[in-house]
C-alpha cells in the first residue's frame, strides 16, 4: 500500500484547520485509530484558562488517559500531526455549524459524511463559550471539567457522568459549594490546600482544578494525605494524567505522622474515619490553618464513655440514641475546642446527593481571640457533665481547658 494514498485530501485538511482555528464555534476534534490491537484516541477542544484561550488535548492510549493544555501555535502543530497520521482511522470534527466525519479505510479510501451539529453534550462536557448557560450552574460546570471527571472515574469515555458515580459527582459539587464562601474574593499570590484522609482524591483534584480554572488562582499547591498506599498510588497516577503532578502531591502516611506546610490556606478532612477527623483538626490547629472544612465520620470514643447521670440515663439506655447523642457531643466538643483555639467555628447541615453522606459539616476560620474564659468554662462543664475527656481536647488543651 502506498502511504501517500493514505493521507487526507488537501481540501479536507484545509477545511479542518479553518474550522478549528479560523471560524468561531469549534467544539471538538477526535481521531481514533487501532494499532497492534490497541486503541489510540486523541481529542482537541478549546478551553479558557485564566481568561486566555487555549486548547486541551486528551490522549487515550490503550485505556490510559492523559491531558495537556496548549496555546494556539502548539495546537496548530498538534493538529498537523493528527492530520498527518496514516492507516485506518476515524476522525470526527464537531463545530456549531455541523459535524464532519471521516473514515479512512485500510486501503486508504476516505469516506466522508456530514451532519448537523451534535445535540447538547452532557453535563461536565466542555462547551463553546456561553453555550452551557442553560445547564444548572454547578461548580463542576463552571470550568471545562471533562478531563478531570474522566480521569477520576466519575465520567465515562464520552464525558457523561456514570450513573454509578452520580452520587459522588453531586457530593463533590456540594463540597465545592461549601468551600466557595471560604475563598478569597480576589486570587491570592499563592494558595495551599491540605486534604487529610484524601482517599481516592476526588475532591482533592476537583478543588485544585476548580481553583485554577474556575477561580483563576495561581500557585495553587495541594497536598493529599492518606495512610492507604493503594489510594495514594492511584491518586498520584491521576494527578500525573491530568498534568498537575507538580502542584498536587500525595503522601502515604497517617495524619498524625504527616509533615504538612505551616499556615495552609485551607485544611479539609472529609469522612476520615473515627479519630482521624480529630487528628486532622489537631494538625490544622497546630499548623495554624487559615480555614478548616471538615465532614466528620463515625467516632466511637464517646459511645461507651458517656456517663451522663439523672434524666440523661434515659436516652443512654438505648443503643441508637446513645450513638447519636455521642456523635452530636463529639462534634460539639470539636467545634468548642476550635473556638478555644482561636477559630470561629460553624456546625451546619451538609446536604449532598450521596446516600451515605454524613449530615454534619464543620467550617472554621482562624482569627478570634483564643482561650476566652466563657468558651473554656462551657467546655470544661460539658466534659464534667458527661464524665468524658475528649480526644481532641486532650491533644490541644491543658487540663484547665486553656490551649496547650
Ligand atoms: C471514607 S474515606 C474518605 C475519602 C475522601 N476524603 C472522600 O471523602 O472521598 C476515609 C479515608 O481516610 C483514610 N484514613 C483513615 N484514618 C486515617 C489516618 N489516621 N491517617 C491517614 N488516613 C486515614 C482512609 O485510608 C480512607 O482513605
Task: Give the containing element (helix H, strand E) for 59.
Answer: strand 52-61
In a domain, 110, yes or no: yes
Quick: pLDDT tens for 184-240. Answer: 988 999 999 999 999 999 999 999 999 999 998 989 999 999 999 999 999 999 999
Domain identity same for 52 and 195: no
Q: Tell me which residue of 330, 342, 346, 309 sits closest to 390, measured CA to CA.
A: 330
Cβ(146) – ligand 1 distance below 6 Å: no
In a domain, 139, yes or no: no
pLDDT value of residue 337: 97
Domain identity same for 91 and 161: no
More confident residue, 350 or 201: 201
> Considering Cα of 331, then 332, then 333, then 339, what sign does the dihedral take?
positive
Domain identity same for 110 and 156: no
Quick: pLDDT tens for 34-78. Answer: 777 777 889 898 887 766 788 888 888 877 778 888 888 899 999
- What is each CA distance from 159 to 148, 244, 371, in whole angstroms? 10, 20, 50
pLDDT value of residue 124: 36
C-beta neighbour count of 118 within 10 angstroms: 14
pLDDT value of residue 50: 65
Q: What is the mean pLDDT of residues 115-141?
A: 53
pLDDT value of residue 357: 53
Q: Measured between alpha carbons, how far is 24 from 256 in angstroms, rounded to an integer?
A: 53
Quick: pLDDT tens for 262-292. Answer: 999 999 999 888 889 999 999 999 999 999 9
More confident residue, 370 or 187: 187
Is the confidence at residue 119, as pLDDT, over 50? no
Domain identity same for 108 and 188: no
Cβ(362) – ligand 1 distance below 6 Å: no
C-beta neighbour count of 101 within 10 angstroms: 14
Confidence of residue 144 (pLDDT cuts 50, 70, 90): confident
Domain identity same for 158 and 115: no
- Number of domains making up the chain: 2
In a domain, 204, yes or no: yes
pLDDT value of residue 356: 54
3-class SS at 373? Answer: helix
Confidence of residue 372 (pLDDT cuts 50, 70, 90): confident
Q: What is the mean pLDDT of residues 245-262?
A: 95
pLDDT value of residue 137: 72
In a domain, 187, yes or no: yes
More confident residue, 25 or 329: 329
Q: Do 337 and 393 touch, CB atoms closer than 8 A?
A: yes
Q: Measured between alpha carbons, how far is 201 from 244 in angstroms, rounded to an integer?
A: 13
Cβ(278) – ligand 1 distance below 6 Å: no
Confidence of residue 260 (pLDDT cuts 50, 70, 90): very high
Closest residue (by CA) to atom 14 of ligand 1? 197
Counting from 1 in the atom list of ligand 1, the atom nearest the Cα of 195 is: 6
CATH number at residue 254: 3.40.50.150
Closest residue (by CA) to atom 10 of ligand 1? 272
Mutate to test the pocket of ligand 1, among 204, 206, 226 (most ligand atoms within 8 A of CB): 226
Cβ(199) – ligand 1 distance below 6 Å: yes
Cβ(279) – ligand 1 distance below 6 Å: yes
Domain identity same for 342 and 238: yes
pLDDT value of residue 117: 60
Mutate to test the pocket of ligand 1, among 152, 227, 282 (most ligand atoms within 8 A of CB): 227
Q: Residue 402 phi/psi, 5° resolution?
A: -80, 155
In a domain, 404, yes or no: no
Task: Give the containing element (helix H, strand E) for 100.
Answer: strand 98-104
Quick: pLDDT tens for 295-316. Answer: 988 778 888 888 777 787 888 8
Query: Which of 27-31, 40-44, 50-54, 143-147 shows the lowest mean pLDDT across its residues?
Result: 50-54
Q: Which domain holds residue 32?
A: 3-119
Is the confidence at residue 10, as pLDDT, over 50? yes
pLDDT value of residue 285: 97
**Can you read off the three cell numbers belonging to residue 309?**
447521670
Q: Do 44 and 75 touch, CB atoms closer than 8 A?
A: yes
pLDDT value of residue 88: 85
pLDDT value of residue 65: 79
Q: What is the mean pLDDT of residues 345-350?
A: 90
For helices 319-340 and 276-286, angle between their N-to-C axes, nearest 10 degrees: 10
Cα 297 to ligand 1 centre (Å):
10
Domain identity same for 115 and 171: no
pLDDT value of residue 363: 96
Is the confidence at residue 165, as pLDDT, over 50? yes
Domain identity same for 168 and 94: no
Closest residue (by CA) to atom 27 of ligand 1? 199
Counting from 1 in the atom list of ligand 1, the atom nearest the Cα of 255 is: 20
Query: Which of 110-119, 150-159, 182-191, 202-211 shows the lowest mean pLDDT across its residues?
Result: 110-119
Cβ(231) – ligand 1 distance below 6 Å: yes
In a domain, 78, yes or no: yes
Is the confidence at residue 101, as pLDDT, over 50? yes
Domain identity same for 318 and 259: yes
Domain identity same for 166 and 41: no
In a domain, 13, yes or no: yes
pTM: 0.75
Q: What is the mean pLDDT of residues 173-179?
A: 92
Domain identity same for 169 and 32: no
In a domain, 137, yes or no: no
Confidence of residue 126 (pLDDT cuts 50, 70, 90): very low
Domain identity same for 63 and 169: no
Cβ(54) – ligand 1 distance below 6 Å: no
Cβ(228) – ligand 1 distance below 6 Å: yes
Is the confidence at residue 108, as pLDDT, over 50? yes
Confidence of residue 365 (pLDDT cuts 50, 70, 90): very high
Amino acid at each position: 500500500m502506498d502511504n501517500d494514498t493514505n493521507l487526507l485530501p488537501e481540501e479536507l485538511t484545509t477545511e479542518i484547520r479553518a474550522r478549528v482555528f479560523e471560524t468561531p464555534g469549534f467544539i471538538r476534534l477526535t481521531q481514533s485509530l487501532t494499532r497492534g490491537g490497541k486503541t489510540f484516541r486523541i481529542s482537541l477542544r478549546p478551553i479558557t484558562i485564566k481568561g486566555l484561550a487555549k486548547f486541551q488535548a486528551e490522549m487515550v492510549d490503550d485505556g490510559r488517559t492523559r491531558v495537556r493544555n496548549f496555546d494556539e501555535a502548539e495546537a496548530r502543530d498538534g493538529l498537523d500531526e493528527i492530520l498527518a497520521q496514516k492507516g485506518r482511522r476515524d476522525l470526527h470534527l464537531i463545530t456549531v455549524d455541523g459535524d464532519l466525519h471521516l473514515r479512512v479505510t485500510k486501503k486508504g479510501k476516505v469516506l466522508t459524511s456530514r451532519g448537523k451539529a451534535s445535540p447538547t453534550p452532557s453535563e461536565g462536557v466542555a462547551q463553546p463559550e456561553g453555550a452551557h448557560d442553560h445547564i444548572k450552574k454547578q461548580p463542576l460546570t463552571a470550568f471545562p471539567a471533562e478531563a478531570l471527571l474522566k480521569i477520576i472515574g466519575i465520567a465515562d469515555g464520552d464525558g457523561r457522568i456514570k450513573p454509578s458515580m452520580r452520587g459522588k459527582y453531586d457530593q463533590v459539587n456540594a463540597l465545592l459549594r461549601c468551600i466557595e464562601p471560604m475563598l478569597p474574593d480576589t486570587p491570592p499570590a499563592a494558595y495551599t490546600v491540605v486534604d487529610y484522609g484524601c482517599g481516592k482524591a476526588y475532591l482533592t483534584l476537583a478543588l485544585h482544578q476548580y481553583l485554577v480554572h474556575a477561580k483563576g488562582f495561581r500557585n495553587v499547591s495541594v497536598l493529599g494525605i492518606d495512610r492507604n498506599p493503594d489510594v495514594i498510588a492511584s491518586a498520584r497516577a491521576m494527578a500525573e494524567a491530568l498534568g498537575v503532578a507538580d502542584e498536587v502531591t500525595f503522601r502515604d502516611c497517617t495524619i498524625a505522622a504527616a509533615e504538612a506546610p505551616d499556615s495552609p490556606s485551607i485544611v479539609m478532612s472529609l469522612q476520615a474515619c473515627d479519630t482521624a477527623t480529630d487528628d486532622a483538626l489537631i494538625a490544622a490547629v497546630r499548623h495554624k490553618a487559615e480555614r478548616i472544612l471538615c465532614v466528620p465520620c463515625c467516632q466511637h470514643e464517646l459511645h461507651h464513655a458517656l456517663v451522663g447521670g439523672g434524666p440523661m440515663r434515659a436516652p443512654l439506655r438505648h443503643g441508637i440514641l446513645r450513638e447519636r447523642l455521642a456523635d452530636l457531643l463529639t462534634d460539639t466538643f470539636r467545634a468548642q475546642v476550635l473556638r478555644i483555639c482561636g477559630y470561629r467555628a460553624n456546625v451546619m447541615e451538609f446536604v449532598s446527593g450521596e446516600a451515605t453522606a454524613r449530615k454534619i459539616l464543620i467550617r472554621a476560620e482562624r482569627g478570634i481571640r483564643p482561650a476566652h474564659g466563657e468558651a473554656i468554662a462551657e467546655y470544661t462543664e460539658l466534659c464534667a457533665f458527661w464524665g468524658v475527656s475528649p480526644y481532641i481536647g486532650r491533644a490541644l488543651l491543658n487540663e484547665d481547658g486553656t490551649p496547650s
